[in-house]
Structure 1
Amino acid sequence: MDPDALSAISRVPHGGDDDVELVDFSANTNPSRPSGTAFTFESSFAAAARYPADDYVPFRVAASDYVDCDPHDVVPTAGGMAALRLAFGVVLSPGDDVLLPEPSFGEYDREIRLQGGTPVAVAYDEVLATDPAEYAAVVVCNPNNPTGGAYDPDELRDYLADCRDADTVLVADEAFLDFTDHPSLAGEAGVVVCRSLTKMFGLPGLRMGFAVAAGELGERMEAARPTWSLSTPAADVGAFCMREEAFVAETKQRVRTERDRMAGRLSEAFDVFPSDAPFLLLGVDGDVDELLEHARERGFALRDARTFATLDSHVRVAVRRPHENDELVRTLLELR
């Protein structure tokens, strides 16, 4: 981390609302969790009285099965954000240029600046048309947050090959990829894959995730990883959840069905962006503040997407349970 960069760095706004009286459509987390998750968490309490085994073998094996890679390439982290910071920390030097998509997750810009790097933004759907040789690293968010679209897998692998030829590291944020049928880049040379388990399994407060990097890049990630980088409850619950294949399949199907249903109805009043993710970005032809307040008065928290670069009249809504989605859609269409 570059100490000289710290004075100019600020926090980044996120979704998530702490008002328990509201149905939270502002955070893109699963409202359901696998049966047995609470029991697994409680069972880890006794073990939490000791330091975790720093090799995290059961977690690494479960993660390697989850994304189809070598367990030795898995780097346990306290959520996807910790994976991103670790990746930028081992890849960047002060003064490096890094290509990132926009609009996209605001933490990329912040984390790059913390390392003394210079973010260079390009439209999210034009990233794969750029020359990676101009940058120390390139970031892709797949599917992209907040727009929701995923990259074509073949085109993404072709771009990764270009990155390897240019000796440019590709940082692939796959926080929402497990809601799709697209293959992960985990285990490929020249890429750091960052995964969050809190979206699919609905436990953002537990902070569980991992990175995947192969070869010399993976060795650097493992060397820089903080000791005890994942708590015992997070490691145990994460390993348990990644084995729940039926839960993942059911969630993916529910999200697809509900997302398409919501998009069809909301398109009557909003510009709905195509999405492969558990959320929809809506272009608002009207007063965004009025829409946000209207939803809140009726018990719903939405994500004000104007905090994302290049978006000036947008909100993002998560895909939740069918009855909650129905109520939200009715509420949003009331201002039509």
Structure 2
Amino acid sequence: MKKHFPNKVVHGGLLQLGQNNNGKYTADYSASINPWPPETGWKPDFKRIKDYPDDTYTELKEEISTHHGVKTENISVGNGSVEIIRSLFKAVLNPGENVLTERHTFGEYRFSAELAGASCSHDPATPHRLRVICNPNNPSGKILSASEILAIADDCSEKGIMLYIDEAFMDLADRDESVADCGYENVIVSRSLTKSFAIPGLRIGYGIGSPSVTKKIEAARLPWTVNFLAESFAVSAIRNYDRLEESRIKIRTERDYLCNGLEKLGLEYHPPSANYILFSTGILSSELTQKLLEKGFYVRNCTSFGLPHSIRIAVRKREDNERLLEALRECLP
């Protein structure tokens, strides 16, 4: 019997356009990257690229351990948080099992579940092995408090269900609702440096969970997937985590500016909490996405999230934000 493979997930990012932008300047609002990443003082030692990385990533795990107040044995690392998702799902799911997710959320959860032979459900009444919460959620921006997450964790623990919390955007959220240091046996939390330090080309993420689950994730991960440059940057970045506060302040100011502009255009948006905004278009989002692209703006068509009349935009600097709002005014019916 021929093995079935699910379709890959659609993501944002300007390079997804290929040749469609015809080489002209396009403001990328499709990928929610921090427009004000803090300086880290990173000085890469290119002589080290002749050596294999340390696949135990001891130095990086020690920095993560210090920052989050957890033991190194609770930490796994990956080539972006997506690798943590893939490795976790591969390690803990059996064919035929279910994963509970939100209906409109990051598509890699479904894809990773299907690669493991499992399925995704949005109905809490459906028996499930693993529950997934993206906090803040992508694309809606909805954020749950730490107390709400821990109440869910307690309920999952009583039912023998694992709980995975994706905190990829927590560093850029208005308030810190992280449960990375909660110490629950049934909770796994992943974090990402990609968005907060604007390094999608380097790719670095990590997970925090019980030693038994962490060991499985590390075993499922391919060796050396985090290259030396990514690891050395991550060490510098984590030492400068506190400098993200300035980014959050600037993001909040520009996000408020964009929200006010959307209101003036009569567009409804979900209450945002991080560096992106989901709003309803009133028309097919594919139509509006194409019109905006022709004006030099690449926004995230949310049809792949199951939201064919919604668009997600990143928060960028004022000049681009002013131009985007003007382009929206011209493109709307």
Per the normalisation by structure 2, the TM-score is 0.90
Aligned position for 2:305: 308
Following the alignment from structure 2 to structure 1, what is the Cα–Cα distance between the partners of residues 162 and 190?
13
Quote how far apart the aligned CAs of 1:31 are: 2.9
Q: Give the alignment partner of residue 179 of structure 1, picking from 172, 175, 178.
A: 172
Following the alignment from structure 1 to structure 2, what is the Cα–Cα distance between the partners of residues 106 and 142?
14
Q: How does 1:46-85 map to 2 (within 5 A)?
A: 46-85=47-86
Following the alignment from structure 1 to structure 2, what is the Cα–Cα distance between the partners of residues 119 and 147?
19
Q: How does 1:153-232 map to 2 (within 5 A)?
A: 153-180=146-173, 181-187=175-181, 188-189=183-184, 190-232=186-228
Determine what percentage of the aligned residue pairs are the same residue: 30
Unaligned runs of at least 5 residues, structure 2: 16-20
Q: Match of 1:204, as an amino acid?
A: P
* Residue 275 (structure 1) aligned with residue 276 (structure 2): no
CA deviations 1:122-141 (Å, max 9, x no partner) are 4xxxxxxx469x21000111
Aligned length: 321
Q: Match of 1:143, as an amino acid?
A: P
Following the alignment from structure 1 to structure 2, what is the Cα–Cα distance between the partners of residues 25 and 13?
15
SS at match of 1:193: strand
| 8 Å contact kept, 2:91–2:216 | yes
CA deviations 1:57-90 (Å, max 9, x no partner) are 2211222344442232111111011000111111
Aligned position for 1:233: 229
Structure 1 residues 75 and 300, CA gap change in structure 2 (3 angstroms): same
Aligned position for 1:260: 256
SS at match of 1:195: strand
Following the alignment from structure 1 to structure 2, what is the Cα–Cα distance between the partners of residues 318 and 330?
16
Aligned position for 1:144: 137
Aligned position for 2:320: 324
CA deviations 1:168-204 (Å, max 9, x no partner) are 1101111111112223222422111122210111111
Structure 1 residues 251 and 139, CA gap change in structure 2 (3 angstroms): same
Structure 1 residues 66 and 299, CA gap change in structure 2 (3 angstroms): farther
Per the normalisation by structure 1, the TM-score is 0.89
The runs of at least 4 aligned residues of structure 1 exceeding 4 Å deviation read none
Structure 1 residues 164 and 5, CA gap change in structure 2 (3 angstroms): farther
| 8 Å contact kept, 1:6–1:114 | no
Following the alignment from structure 1 to structure 2, what is the Cα–Cα distance between the partners of residues 226 and 297?
41
Following the alignment from structure 1 to structure 2, what is the Cα–Cα distance between the partners of residues 108 and 324?
32
Following the alignment from structure 1 to structure 2, what is the Cα–Cα distance between the partners of residues 6 and 204?
32
* Residue 25 (structure 1) aligned with residue 29 (structure 2): yes
SS at match of 2:153: helix
Quote how far apart the aligned CAs of 1:258 are: 1.3
Following the alignment from structure 1 to structure 2, what is the Cα–Cα distance between the partners of residues 89 and 179?
29
The more displaced of 87-96 and 13-22 is: 13-22
Q: How does 1:70-109 map to 2 (within 5 A)?
A: 70-109=71-110
Following the alignment from structure 2 to structure 1, what is the Cα–Cα distance between the partners of residues 67 and 209?
15
Aligned position for 2:18: none
Following the alignment from structure 2 to structure 1, what is the Cα–Cα distance between the partners of residues 220 and 283?
48
* Residue 16 (structure 1) aligned with residue 34 (structure 2): no
Following the alignment from structure 1 to structure 2, what is the Cα–Cα distance between the partners of residues 325 and 149?
22
CA deviations 1:228-285 (Å, max 9, x no partner) are 2311000001111122235311111111221122112202321111111210011011
Structure 1 residues 239 and 5, CA gap change in structure 2 (3 angstroms): farther
Following the alignment from structure 1 to structure 2, what is the Cα–Cα distance between the partners of residues 56 and 93?
28
Structure 1 residues 35 and 142, CA gap change in structure 2 (3 angstroms): same
Structure 1 residues 6 and 259, CA gap change in structure 2 (3 angstroms): farther
Quote how far apart the aligned CAs of 1:147 are: 0.6
CA RMSD of superposed structures (Å): 2.0
Unaligned runs of at least 5 residues, structure 1: 123-129
